[in-house]
Structure 1
Amino acid sequence: MSYKIVFFDIDGTLVNEEKQIPRDTIDALRELSKTDVEVVIATGRAPYFFKSIAEQLGINSFISLNGAYVVHQGRVLFERPIPRERLEALVVQAGQHGHPLVFEGGETYYADTDSHPHMLNSVNSLKVELPGHDPEYWQKTSIYQAFLHCEAHEEELYAESLPGLRLVRWHKTAMDVLPEGGSKALGIEAMLQHLGIAVEEAAAFGDGLNDKEMLAAVGLGIAMGNSHPELIPHADYVTAHVDEGGIRQGLKHAGLI
């Protein structure tokens, strides 16, 4: 199969645990950029969380916020904000349990606290600037994703009480909150339709729980060697660790470099 487009997750895929892009990954993507293959970032991060990474790699198209905000060469193709009534239910319930929230818009993000350790630990792990403090930000603009800060044993408090929302854990103290049915796969579908590329002509690299749908939505789903164990069964191929040439090995397997 000749692949025409490749989607790359960021954390654990393009960057390692230190949030650095391995030198070999940079070199491999430069080789890929010399071809006619479309290169797209597909991440749970908001656009303002990966601007420097995209610029360093010369990538101008992305699926962000777990498929809720999609841009191709600077043009917004697809948006899927969380319905306001769903956000209100989340705010009420999180407040009852004392769990802080972060609200992610298309241009910036705010938290309903400025000092809770769960929020500080999770956001600092991304090596990005901390959010501003505005508990009512969710009422002022479109919110595409939220962070709900609680530990794994507290997830049951929300398991069946937030209809219309989907929760995906990405940190020991934080979960992404998406619209029900939301995933990177929706963004991929919008991108492929826009470009007129068939599913079979697409490949994707990922490592986390929020990459399950993405790997299933393309012709070749590649899991990094450092992937979460639950992702492996969803992959067509398992490449090496992010720090051990995993991107280059996967691109070679796909016949792209």
Structure 2
Amino acid sequence: MSEQSIIFFDIDGTLLDHNKEIPASTKKAIFDLRERGHEVAIATGRAPFMFEDIRKELEIDTYVSYNGQYVVLRGEVIYTNPLNPDALKTLTERAIEKENPIVYMDADDMHSNVPEEHEYITTSIKTLQVGKFPSFDPAYYQNREIYQCLLFCLEGAEQQYEADFKDFDFIRWHPMSVDVLPAGGSKANGISKITDKLGFPKERQYAFGDGLNDVEMLKQIYNSVAMGNGEEEAKAAARHVTKNVDEDGILHGLQMVGLLD
């Protein structure tokens, strides 16, 4: 394995361009990496059912989903980290008081605690272009493992939740929504479950990302690359910064770090 590396790619704004499409240069680069013997993986905040089509298109069966809470290595689940159920119940009660909808997400599906289409939910989830919206089931979080929630509130409103719910981390991914994760859970932690199992030294670990939920990953991974279209915090955390995703940013970044010619 001395020359083999593992490369983790975020999805939105990294593998997918602003039209939610995989640039041709990116797809070719992924297959070129694999032909050279490298391990290619995904590290995303999305649920597994939200990027099955991407995995099939790119022939990837190793991934970190839910920002590190559900980890799959070559088709096998090797790590899960669900939300604390008691704390989630209390969070739900608080969110109802504040009229902030919640979407509960497990490995297979997602359901909201509001019966009608809510502006915040429809507006934010539409940006993912996954062709799926949560149905109504306010009790979905009960008696099952929930790996991530979407809490719908405007920017700044999450600060009180952060102060009151130490079991959770709140990471904004949209002006109308934040991810709710187990405290300390991150893509970086999920990635370590894979790299430790496969035995990759840090010098042979690479990661590409663009968002706030990529910051820990970009700090931890030795060869980290932020997209040119990324958040400033992501760029500051990364060792390298490549071009924008729609300017062949993945290919350029892989050439920059010497994985492709």
Structure 1 residue 199, shift from structure 2 partner: 2.2
Offset from partner CA, 1:132-182 (integer Å, 9 cap, x none): 210110003100000000000322331301121000000010000000001
Among candidates 222, 240, 244, match of residue 237 of structure 1: 240
Contact 2:203 2:222 in 1 (8 A): yes
In the alignment, what sits opposite 1:4?
5
Any idea what SS the aligned residue of 1:148 has? strand
Among candidates 165, 169, 173, match of residue 170 of structure 1: 173
Which AA in structure 2 matches 1:118?
Answer: Y
Offset from partner CA, 1:55-97 (integer Å, 9 cap, x none): 1111111000000000011101110000101211210111110
In the alignment, what sits opposite 1:37?
38
In the alignment, what sits opposite 1:80?
81
Structure 1 residue 225, shift from structure 2 partner: 0.4
Q: What is the aligned-residue identity percentage? A: 40
2:192 equivalent to 1:189:
yes
Any idea what SS the aligned residue of 2:232 has? coil
Any idea what SS the aligned residue of 1:153 has? coil
Which AA in structure 1 matches 2:117?
Answer: S
Offset from partner CA, 1:199-245 (integer Å, 9 cap, x none): 22100000000001111221101000000012111110000000001
Rounded to whole Å, the distance in 2 between the matches of 1:83 and 1:199 is: 31
Any idea what SS the aligned residue of 1:110 has? strand
Where does structure 2 lack aligned partners over 5 or more consecutive residues?
none
In the alignment, what sits opposite 1:107?
108
Quick check: 110-119 or 164-173, which moved more? 110-119
Which AA in structure 1 matches 2:56?
Answer: E
Which AA in structure 1 matches 2:61?
Answer: N
In the alignment, what sits opposite 2:127?
125
Rounded to whole Å, the distance in 2 between the matches of 1:87 and 1:165 is: 9
Rounded to whole Å, the distance in 2 between the matches of 1:211 and 1:174 is: 17
Contact 2:171 2:180 in 1 (8 A): yes
Any idea what SS the aligned residue of 2:259 has? coil
2:211 equivalent to 1:199:
no
TM-score, structure 2 as length reference: 0.96
Structure-to-structure mapping, 1:42-61, within 5 angstroms:
42-61=43-62
Any idea what SS the aligned residue of 2:189 has? helix
2:231 equivalent to 1:228:
yes
In the alignment, what sits opposite 1:255?
258
Rounded to whole Å, the distance in 2 between the matches of 1:112 and 1:124 is: 18
Rounded to whole Å, the distance in 2 between the matches of 1:137 and 1:42 is: 26
Contact 2:67 2:185 in 1 (8 A): yes
Among candidates 130, 137, 141, match of residue 138 of structure 1: 141
Any idea what SS the aligned residue of 2:156 has? helix
TM-score, structure 1 as length reference: 0.97
Contact 1:201 1:218 in 2 (8 A): no
Contact 2:215 2:234 in 1 (8 A): yes
Offset from partner CA, 1:79-132 (integer Å, 9 cap, x none): 000010121121011111000000110111111124111011111111120012
In the alignment, what sits opposite 1:65?
66
Where does structure 1 lack aligned partners over 5 or more consecutive residues?
none
In the alignment, what sits opposite 2:155?
152
Contact 1:13 1:247 in 2 (8 A): yes
User: What is the CA RMSD across the aligned residues, in angstroms?
Assistant: 1.2
Any idea what SS the aligned residue of 1:17 has? coil
Which AA in structure 2 matches 1:216?
Answer: K
